[in-house]
């Protein structure tokens, strides 16, 4: 069974860079799309961006200037960097593997809570 294990700093100060990693166990990294999604406290889900099996990325236009998503096939890891964070970036961050047809998220990480203080 595919499992996604996430980790990264949970407490940041405004203007710092958020950095998270997601490792894939029990399944392939190559051949799939991967995404990062976040959920502010008490709110809904927001797509941050994705990377495909060729290494091409797409980002939410509202975050594009601050986001970098990368993948390491040899380590089976996905990474997220978000620069110049503010309190508005406080959220639970999830990594997710797309479905085979790419149009849904079949597997999710456990989530990482990131809090940004001013």
Partner 1 sequence: EIVLTQSPATLSLSPGERATLSCRASQSVISYLAWYQQKPGQAPRLLIYDASNRASGIPARFSGSGSGTDFTLTITSLEPDDFAVYYCHQRSNWPTFGQGTRLEIK
16 or 23: CB nearest partner 1: 23
Question: Closest distance between partner 1 and the C-beta of residue 47, in Å?
Answer: 4
Question: Closest distance between partner 1 and the C-beta of residue 78, in Å?
Answer: 15
The footprint of partner 1 (CB under 8 A) covers 35, 44-47, 50, 58, 60-61, 94, 99, 101-106, 108-111
- Compute the half-sphere exposure of residue 50: CA atoms within 13 Å on the CB side of its CA: 18
61 or 74: CB nearest partner 1: 61
Report DSSP letters for the chain, one per residue.
--EEEEEE--EEETT--EEEEEEEESS-STTS-EEEEEE-TTS--EEEEEE-TTS-EEE-TTTTTTEEEEEETTTTEEEEEE-S--GGG-EEEEEEEEPTTSSSEEEEB--EEEEEE-
Question: Closest distance between partner 1 and the C-beta of residue 43, in Å?
Answer: 8
Task: Tally the residues of the chain.
Answer: 118
Question: Closest distance between partner 1 and the C-beta of residue 74, in Å?
Answer: 26
88 or 104: CB nearest partner 1: 104
7 or 17: CB nearest partner 1: 7
């Amino acid at each position: 069974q595919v499992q996604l294990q996430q980790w990264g700093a949970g407490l940041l100060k405004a203007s710092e860079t958020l950095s998270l990693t997601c490792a894939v166990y029990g399944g392939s990294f190559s051949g799939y799309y991967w995404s990062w999604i976040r959920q502010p406290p008490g709110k809904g889900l927001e797509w941050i961006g994705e990377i495909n099996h060729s290494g091409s990325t797409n980002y939410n236009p509202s975050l594009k200037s601050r986001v970098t998503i990368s993948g390491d096939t040899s380590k089976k890891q996905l990474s997220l960097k978000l620069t110049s964070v503010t309190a508005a970036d406080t959220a639970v961050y999830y990594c997710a593997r797309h479905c085979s047809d790419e149009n849904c998220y079949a597997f999710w990480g456990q989530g990482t809570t990131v809090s940004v203080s001013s």
